[in-house]
């Protein structure tokens, strides 16, 4: 973590970036001690919070993302992920949504076919 912080600090000090760094930027100097750099990093960084996995397939939803015990409701977001991805959740959520759209379409087609067969 400290090695990455030092690289970021070095990059931020380059002349090419001076026009882009505006406002107050109280970064430590390149000769900062590891302890002081760690204090700076922990005080000035945070997680980007990508909450996931709160509606697990099985206990909450079935394999077709339908909420158990609630007719007509599906969960189609990062909460159905079985585990947290190591990067941004945007692309995986888009994939979940695409798959859910296919499942909804299939289920609607099957329902229409069933109704037509019984008529």
Residue closest to 78 by CA, chosen among 103, 102, 57: 57
DSSP designation for 14: S
Mean pLDDT of the chain: 88
For residue 31, what are its two tokens?
């000769």
27 pLDDT tier (thresholds 50, 70, 90): confident
**Token code pair at residue 72:** 């007509």
Could you report the per-residue pLDDT of 30-76, keeping only the tens digit for each?
788 999 999 999 998 887 778 888 887 788 999 999 999 999 999 99
- Cβ atoms within 10 A of the Cβ of 17, count? 10
Extents of the domains making up the chain: 2-44, 50-119
Residues classed as catalytic: 50
């Amino acid at each position: 973590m400290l090695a990455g912080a030092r690289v970021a600090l070095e990059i931020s000090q380059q002349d090419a970036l001076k026009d882009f760094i505006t406002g107050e930027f109280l970064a430590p100097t390149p000769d900062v001690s590891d302890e002081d750099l760690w204090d700076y990093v922990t005080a000035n960084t945070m997680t980007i919070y990508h909450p996931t996995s709160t509606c697990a397939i099985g206990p909450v939803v079935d394999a077709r993302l339908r909420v158990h015990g609630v007719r007509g409701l599906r969960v189609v977001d990062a909460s159905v992920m079985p585990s947290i991805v190591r990067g941004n959740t945007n692309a995986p959520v888009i994939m979940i949504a695409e798959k859910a759209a296919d499942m909804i379409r299939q289920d609607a087609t099957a329902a229409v076919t069933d109704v037509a067969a019984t008529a």
